Amino acid sequence: MLDRFLAFATHPATLIAVGGGVGANARYWFGKLVASYLPPGAVAFPWATFAINVSGSVVLGFVASAFLNHPDESRKSWYLLLGTGFCGGFTTFSTFSLETLQLMRAERPGTAAAYVFGSVAAGLLGVWLATKLGSGSSE
């Protein structure tokens, strides 16, 4: 019985589902937290999604550094839980795309462009920095 439970608990689908559920909830609450620091009615820039995408990139950088290419196969399960699952549920590039479209439809192309390029640049910088810090590499 214990063997069946362990096989279920460590199955890739279970790890991804659990991580994704936790990540999606973290995304919701972190978005609420960021929004609570914005002035009432401030919708000029989607700061909550921006912060989620950037912080998710940083977390994914650390997770990938720690678990993705590790020679110990058992550590790769942690990547499924934390990288594919948690970060997949937490980061919101589908929301990012919708909000960019909404900014363009609101005839705010400059804000849309700043949002797109700022998110990508900050995300790349975050994941690069985290992989450097996480791997201890001096490259």
Task: List the binding residues for Na(+).
Answer: 88, 91
Extract the annotated binding site.
88, 91
Question: Which three-class secondary structure state does DSSP give residue 34?
Answer: helix
Rounded to whole angstroms, how far apart are CA atoms 138 and 128? 12
Q: Which residue has the tokens 């960021």?
A: 34
Q: How far apart are CA 56 and CA 60, in angstroms?
A: 6
Which letter does DSSP use for residue 106 in this model? T
